[in-house]
Amino acid sequence: MWHVSDDSRRPEVAMSKHESSVNYQNLVRDLAEMYPFEVAEVVVVELVANSLDAKATNISVDYDASNGILIVADNGAGMRRLSI
C-alpha cells in the first residue's frame, strides 16, 4: 500500500511505502460485490472516496499504462497511526 503526502506535484518524491495487514484479494472481491461496476472502476471510486473522507480539496488521478501504476494524490488530512 502506498501513501502520498500533500505534495501531489511530485508524487515520485513524496511517496513512501508502508506495511499493511490488509488482504488485498479479499478487499477487492468485497468491493466488487458492493458495486455494480467493473473492479477497476470500483477501485478508483473507493480511492477517490477515501480522498474525500480525508477532506481533500485537490485530487489527482493518474495512470502510468507502461508500468501499470495507478497514482491517486490528494491534499487531504489522512489518518493518524492510532486510527489504523
pLDDT tens-digit map of 46-58: 889 999 999 999 9
Q: Which residues contact 34 (CB under 8 A, 6 or more apart)?
A: 42
What pLDDT sits at residue 7?
Answer: 43
User: Residue 27 is which amino acid?
Assistant: L
pTM confidence score: 0.58
Residue 66 CB coordination number (10 Å): 6
pLDDT tens-digit map of 31-74: 778 878 787 888 888 889 999 999 999 999 999 999 888 889 99
